[in-house]
Chains A and B, each alone.
Chain A
Amino acid sequence: MGFHDTFFKEEHMKKKGFATIVLLVLLMAGNAFLFAGGQQDVKSTAGDGEVTEIVYWQYYYETKKDLVDTLIGMFEAENPDIKVVHQTFPYEQYNTKVASSVPSGTGPNVINLFYGWLPTYIDSGYLQPLPQQTFSNERIESEFFPLVSAAKFEGSYYALPTAVRSLALFWNKDLFKEAGLDPEQPPRTVAEMIGFAKKLTKTDRTGNYLQVGMTLELRAQMHQWLREVLLRQMGGAPYSDDNRTVTYANKAGYDAFRFFTNLHLVEKIGMPNFMTDDVTAFKSGTMGMTVDGSFRLGTLDAVSTLNYGVAELPEMNGVKSNFASFWANGITSYTTGKQLEASVKFLEFLTSDTAMAMWLKQVGELPAKKDLAMKDEYRNDPKYGPFIRGLEYAVATKFIDENVQRKVWIDAWDEVVLNGVSVEAAVNQAAKTEQQLLDNYYNK
């Protein structure tokens, strides 16, 4: 008895009980502050003939880091009075890292951010508008693909990408051959895609999928496909021109979502979560077709047994559409004087044709400028070509919170497929939830 009393009650109950509670709160709320240590405070050494030092931040991705190192070398050779300090952080910690740099007054001058995060960063005053003398709206709009307007807020551009990504159809040539389809002939229309997908689907006698025709993964890229491609092909649009209003709770929206859920319920050409996710399924050769971004080429090329092709997204009702996304470089609002001048120069260099051409070759992301991307050698490349051609008609959704805006569609799917709710009711609910998010943001 004595052993129990002293050991369990005294030691564990009190200390562990309370320490655990405190630790819990620490873990959940205190995380942001733990990462605060260990960053360099780089001050400008402005003065005549002196070197101006600026700091560039991006998340760690090996090919991106290596290329930016090379680019910085080239930039510094051209501009001996500027020194660029390049710092990278793991993707998972990127936002917390930025967040912790604000109160401590340290941080980058030029920063690489996912375009979907821009609202938060601009709202909080973290970025400054790009200076009009160098980056006038006219110049940006004539040189870059229109999708960069996702970085335009209240008439000003806050960030510019070196490279962009769009979607394309990936098809497994071996599975095509096995299903009696021409392995070199991807579907050109959505109807054709569904016909092919049916032939590519294999089930056992009880109806379990052994192989699926195509991806239906709203959690991956299909929510983008549904929102920016299928919906537009059905004659609708996801948002009003000013992005403040959800515009799919109508016939086009119902048609699009009914069409999409019927791919599972009626056409039976696949299911979400097959093999846990569509990348795994396509890699393992149990999915005929998938829709994914140019960033997936590297992952798929690493699978030696996979024999696949890439094509433009199929059209429907004569409408072609695509979804694009990008990481963009902005200048922080506390950057002034010589550092600002240097930062603008560096940003100009990062968005130069030279940098973009190197980026495509070494990172595999597409040039953000029209003239460059549309060069024949890029446009007709068997792998990158379909993505680049897709950029001409691609839209970058102006997300406020991509996570929530994706989830409304996942929930709508579950309501229809699991709970038998009507398509109309599910779409209306999605629109209502999403509208609330937009209202909260724009009416702040």
Chain B
Amino acid sequence: MIRQKTASHSLELTKRRWAYTFLVVPILFYVVIRFYPTFYAFFLSTTDWDIVSKNKDFIGLENYRNLFSDALFWKTLGNTGKYVAYGLPVSLFLGFVIAYNIDRIRLGEGFFKAVYFIPYITSMVAVAWVWRWLYQPAPIGVFNKILMELELPQQKFLFSQTQAIFSILATTIWADIGFQMIIFLAGIKGISTQYYEAAEIDGAGNWDQLRYVTLPLLKPTIVFLIVTGTIRYLRIFTQVLNMSYQGEGGPLNSTKPLVLYIYDTAFRSFDMGYASAMTVVLFLIILTITLIQLRVMKSEE
């Protein structure tokens, strides 16, 4: 007995050793091009480096102190929060509704899947520019032209401090739904039909099946989509850069997300130290949210 155990043990060990050997190569790669720059950003955040200077003067936590009194930092952080808080639930809900209904049809399933998925694989820059034109005032912008035809008042969309962020969100959600839908669809298809048969025998209707079978069994899918979606919306950037002129995130910074502010600070104002400090803050936010979500997921297992 004991002998057998040791033998299988050493076999396991050899197997593991090989696995580790194979893992070393990608780890080296990760260390050099991912972890090193990551930690370097932590270091940079304590300097006043201006991109061309040889010296990276250590200034301690001054960048972080400045963040506290930087109104624009809080504004952009708030905007980023809005993108997540409004964008994610809506795109998840719509993604699920579409997936649920596509799963129920037999004819033209592939067609509908493609229609909803195409926006997701379209270049965000192209999407942003097309929508930017759609939002223009009449007679150029299609949306305002439709409003006019219906004798409704025109809307300012991207030129309004209150509407601009939702206009950009609408574009984002439109492009994002395809991804949510495909993952939901995979989740729904993965649920064994036995559950539904059993539910039907128990007399459960469509609504009850959705409520007590589909949704609970989709929990891992939902958590996965929430985690990746949160990160995606926290990092929103391309849309805003392309939908506001010269990527300023206007009007009056009302659409500027934190990532765009970081980009401006680093690559337009060349204040790498300050930009790194903001990056670190964003990193910590993403990390915290992700850890909380993973914890929630684990505790429900």
- Residues of chain A touching chain B, judged by Cβ–Cβ distance below 8 Å, are 1, 3-5, 8-9, 12-14, 16-18, 20-26, 28-34, 95-96, 98-99, 102-103, 120-121, 123-126, 204, 206, 208-210, 219, 271-273, 275-277, 401, 403-404, 407, 410-411, 414-415, 418-419
Contact = CB atoms under 8 A, between A and B. Distances in A.
Interface in B219-275: 220-221, 223-224, 227-228, 231, 235, 245-246, 248, 250-253, 259, 262-264, 266-270, 272, 275
Contacts of A34: 33
- Consensus secondary structure, chain A interface: helix
Contact of A95 (B136, B138, B267): B267
24 contacts: A8-B223, A9-B224, A13-B223, A13-B224, A13-B294, A17-B227, A17-B294, A20-B231, A21-B283, A22-B38, A24-B231, A26-B34, A29-B41, A30-B41, A102-B54, A120-B52, A124-B52, A126-B53, A204-B138, A206-B138, A208-B138, A273-B245, A410-B250, A418-B251
Interface in B265-299: 266-270, 272, 275-276, 279, 282-283, 286-287, 290, 294, 297
Contacts of B252: 411, 414-415, 418-419
B246 A219 contact: yes
Of A30, A33, A210, A419, most buried by chain B (CB within 10 Å of CB) is A30
B78 interface: no
B267 A4 contact: no
B137 interface: yes
Contact of A28 (B55, B159, B279): B279
Contacts of A98: 51-52
Contacts of A96: 51, 267
B103 interface: no
A25 B43 CA distance: 13
B37 A95 contact: no
Contact of B139 (A210, A273, A410): A210
A25 B217 contact: no
B126 interface: no
A410 B245 CA distance: 11
Contacts of A411: 250, 252-253
* Nearest 3 pairs of A and B residues by beta carbon: A30-B37, A29-B41, A124-B53
A419 B161 contact: yes
B27 interface: no
